Structure 1
Amino acid sequence: MSAIITLSLLAILVLYLGLFNAKKALLPISLLGLGATLVLYLIEWGKDAEPLYSGMVLFDHFAVAFSVLCVFVTVLIFLLSKDYFDKASTHVAEYYALIMFSLTGALLVVSFHNLAMLFIGIEIMSVALYILAGIRKRDFASNEAALKYFLMGAFSTGFLLFGIALLYGASGSFDLAEIKNYVVNNPQTVSPLFYAGILLLIVGLAFKVGAAPFHFWTPDVYDGAPILITTFMSTVVKAAAFAGFLRLFYFCFVPLQDFWMPVLLVMTIITLFVGNITAIVQQSFKRMLAYSSISHAGYMLFAIIAIGPASAGSVLVYAGAYSLASVVAFGSLIVVKRATGSDHFEAFNGLAKKNPYLSLALTVAMLSLAGIPLTAGFIGKFMMFSGVLADYQVLLVVLAAINAAMGIFYYFRVIVAMYFKPIDRDQIVLTGQYKTVLLLAVLITLALGVYPACVAGLV
């Protein structure tokens, strides 16, 4: 809990620094605070995990591993933020503070042990993002993104709260251990209210992770929000939401798998096809990444469909691979759009000739997102497919393989543009921070692709 308290105080400190116009201190202090948060979480790793604060939170290996992933990805995003926020607004401190408040909510989501804390974490994470999505007040696309995100977020919160209320009405508790005991002790006499609560929770959480048919806010919000905010939403927020999704279902609802698994199976198939088919026809690189994030939500749902002891490791590897590749992809988009003024695929034409380092990093990211061997993305997909095959969901694996082939098509469009469509263009100058982020992300992506067990076995 000390890590979450430290992060909350850090966000308030950053606001005060902004009040006194200490702009140059914002990024160093933010990175220093996030580093301290990482250290505090690593200290938690060796301790015996027990529910704290009357059973509200539990910092077990699952929570610590996903928290470290979220904080580390946020560090990479902050490294990309140098000069980015300065060009967007004169009030830079608000960006850093709101991202850290949202990160605080994400850390609560991955470590909740009480449904009330799940709701609080989701709301802290979401409310800050409603503001960040529309922080460019003179940009109509940003305004539209914020409005859609707020309306859909409020709508999904209603489903989530109603589901939590029904679970409480049936089991008499918000505590996960008590809910689990209710399910285990009443295998044949579970209240119909409880079943209805599970369905409503699925709807509410599907909104948060961007799974179809509750995905319709995702493309416009990701496209309209500033690129770095989109990066944060598509990595940290998605990873935290899936961790919370998995934690709830693995801890409480496994005995009722025959009831909710068919619902998730249908949602997964719809999510895969909607995400991939719509991504194929996009001409904007940013919008393609937005639609592809929907398809990746479908792949991560595999771990919940085939829920078991290996699910947590599978989601951790997949979320890590997807997050690192997305950071590289969106970071590359920032510098390319800054140089060309466009986020279409044509903006990447001939990039390899003038910027081989940037092109190589983006190529590795695209290969990882497409699931090509020797990358973390391949290992993530392999673990997801293996888990589903163990449950004899052969049809789902066949459909997923078809969708993976679609993904290869639209991810390779960027590689083809960079290497096989030469054009006379100027060289893009990369700062030291960008080079560091690209190098770290690529090295970890390749290391995970070769040695996945070092991460998968942690949880």
Structure 2
Amino acid sequence: MLSIILLSVSGLANLFLGFNRSNRLILPFVLLVLAAVLGVTVSGIDTHGALAVWNQSPYFTGMLTFDRYAQVFTGVMVLTTLLLLPFSQKYVRDGNANLAEYYSILLFSLVGGIMMVSYNNLLIFFLGVETLSIAMYVLAGSDKSNLRSNEAALKYFLMGSFTTGILLFGIALLYGATGTFDLAQMGNAVRAIPAADAGLRPMMHIGLLLMLIGVGFKISAAPFHFWTPDVYEGTPTLFTGYMSTVVKTAGVAGFFKLLFVAFGGETIEFWLPTLTAMLVLTLFIGNVGAVAQTNAKRMLAYSSISHAGYLLLALVALQSGRLSVNAIFFYSLAYSVATVAAFAVLKLVHDQRERDDYDGLNGLARTNPLLAFVMTVAMLSLAGIPLTGGFFGKFYLFSAAAQEGHIGLVIFAVVMSAVGIFYYLRPIMAMYMKPAAEGSDAPVFVGGFQSAVLVLLVALTVLLGVWPGVVEGMF
């Protein structure tokens, strides 16, 4: 709860700092706040507790709970934001008049993400989804002078509003079938439905399917992914990086909690085929679609879709319990670190070369060896190459699915991972094997603090790849 209070109060305080038009004070203030929230969150994690103790530290009559599950995923989201914000220094140097608003909206959206992983009541989950989503609608269109940014905001808002209605309708049907919004009570009601009133089961099933549609949109899972490439391309790169990491982590972790607590047991037989079909479709569309892209941001958009598919493996393997939760945590952490590194490089290159396609990366190894190396490590991690965090992230996901007998899904996911290697190598080839275009051969400016963060991102990716046990014991 302290993390929500700190972020909310700091978001308001940051708006007052913006009145002074002193952008150089705003970024250090926000970074200090995020560091404090991360410290509070990590220090409060009970590494000796049991899995799924959902009712530790209850607030608002148990509607919000801050157990180890919530704290761990809160830590991942806060760390991701903390590592991403240093690459907004161009806004500081240019004296962007809206910088305070951007940072405050990010802090408020982070509050929504925390609510999505710490809820114990579906009303809180919906409130968290809307807090996170509305903030992203605004940030997607924050570059008002760019028509693509305006288009991205409009598409995201219209489609997001429509799926929000679907999500809310699903929550209403679940309430009608079970008589409660509380997860634990809902789980008890679901198990009692066959004996009490079998006619309520269709209502419950439809409600759960509608919620699956709503969450599937938020995490870019097929067939609810169509907005992703256009929105990612039009949204300013900094906020695209945030959208592809924090939003996805919050959505998957929040939905896993709903399924694990309320819809395990016999109910799995109903939603498992639907989720499996979504998984296969998401992996296929994400990986095959990325192959055809020539724009690096659109490639990462399809990559984000494919990674949603990999995360769905953990939901399919729900009954593996601790192994499945640990897989979501480790994969979210490794994926977020690598994705932040990739978008950081794209942001720095775009700030100077004003290009998002592969040609904008040409010759980067000669002009900026550090940027090329960071991008290479990020691509290798996203591809799941050994000695990077992405390798063990996929290994844990595949292990959880295999333990539950989903061998066919694992084989398909491995094949799709092999397809992913092709398009992840394209930026590396552009940086190391192609000369920079005339007029784009000047070194990209990288600040000292940004260079330090880039080195830290590489170090974290490699550390997770050679010593995954460093974060084990969380579950």
**What TM-score, normalized by structure 2, do the two folds share?**
0.93
Alignment root-mean-square deviation, CA: 1.6
Of residues 148, 153, 157 in structure 2, which corresponds to 1:141? 148
- Tell me, in whole angstroms, the C-alpha distance in 2 between the residues paired with 1:377 and 1:183: 37
Which residue is 1:10 aligned to?
10
Q: Tell whether the 8 Å contact from 1:85 to 1:95 is kept in structure 2 after alignment.
A: no
Q: Tell whether the 8 Å contact from 1:15 to 1:97 is kept in structure 2 after alignment.
A: yes
Overall identity of the aligned pairs, in %? 47
Question: How far did residue 85 of structure 1 move?
Answer: 5.6
Which residue is 1:432 aligned to?
448
Which residue is 2:399 aligned to?
386
CA gap 1:456/1:315 in 2 versus in 1, 3 angstroms: farther
Which residue is 2:45 aligned to?
45
Which residue is 2:458 aligned to?
442
**Letter of the aligned partner of 1:328 in structure 2?**
A
Q: Tell whether the 8 Å contact from 2:91 to 2:99 is kept in structure 1 after alignment.
A: no
Q: Tell whether the 8 Å contact from 1:110 to 1:240 is kept in structure 2 after alignment.
A: yes
Q: Tell whether the 8 Å contact from 1:354 to 1:426 is kept in structure 2 after alignment.
A: yes
- Tell me, in whole angstroms, the C-alpha distance in 1 between the residues paired with 2:423 and 2:446: 26
Aligned length: 459
Which residue is 1:27 aligned to?
27
Which residue is 1:350 aligned to?
363
Unaligned runs of 5+ in 2: 50-54
Q: Tell whether the 8 Å contact from 2:142 to 2:149 is kept in structure 1 after alignment.
A: yes
Q: Tell whether the 8 Å contact from 1:366 to 1:411 is kept in structure 2 after alignment.
A: yes
- Tell me, in whole angstroms, the C-alpha distance in 1 between the residues paired with 2:106 and 2:57: 29
Question: How far did residue 392 of structure 1 move?
Answer: 1.9
Unaligned runs of 5+ in 1: none
Of residues 47, 58, 65 in structure 2, which corresponds to 1:58? 65
Tell me, yes or no, if structure 1 residue 89 matches structure 2 residue 96: yes
Pairing 1:13-412 to 2, within 5 Å after superposition: 13-46=13-46, 49-84=56-91, 87=94, 89-186=96-193, 189=198, 191-255=201-265, 256-307=267-318, 308-309=320-321, 310-412=323-425
CA gap 1:174/1:86 in 2 versus in 1, 3 angstroms: farther
Superposed CA deviations along residues 21-78 of structure 1, whole A, max 9, x for unmatched, are 2322101111111122122223432499242211111111111011011111111111
3-state SS of paired residue (2:58): coil
Which residue is 2:52 aligned to?
none
3-state SS of paired residue (1:327): helix
**Letter of the aligned partner of 2:351 in structure 1?**
R
- Tell me, in whole angstroms, the C-alpha distance in 2 between the residues paired with 1:21 and 1:100: 19
Q: Tell whether the 8 Å contact from 2:73 to 2:117 is kept in structure 1 after alignment.
A: yes
Question: How far did residue 181 of structure 1 move?
Answer: 1.2
Q: Tell whether the 8 Å contact from 1:316 to 1:456 is kept in structure 2 after alignment.
A: no
Question: How far did residue 101 of structure 1 move?
Answer: 0.7
3-state SS of paired residue (2:65): coil
- Tell me, in whole angstroms, the C-alpha distance in 2 between the residues paired with 1:292 and 1:148: 20
Would you identify which runs of 4 or more consecutive aligned residues in structure 1 move more than 6 Å? none
Question: How far did residue 426 of structure 1 move?
Answer: 2.0
- Tell me, in whole angstroms, the C-alpha distance in 1 between the residues paired with 2:110 and 2:94: 23
**Letter of the aligned partner of 2:2 in structure 1?**
S
Q: Tell whether the 8 Å contact from 2:361 to 2:436 is kept in structure 1 after alignment.
A: no
- Tell me, in whole angstroms, the C-alpha distance in 1 between the residues paired with 2:23 and 2:154: 29
**Letter of the aligned partner of 2:165 in structure 1?**
G
- Tell me, in whole angstroms, the C-alpha distance in 1 between the residues paired with 2:43 and 2:337: 24
Question: How far did residue 394 of structure 1 move?
Answer: 2.0
- Tell me, in whole angstroms, the C-alpha distance in 2 between the residues paired with 1:258 and 1:446: 39
Q: Tell whether the 8 Å contact from 2:112 to 2:127 is kept in structure 1 after alignment.
A: yes
Superposed CA deviations along residues 98-145 of structure 1, whole A, max 9, x for unmatched, are 111111111111111100000000100111111111111121101111
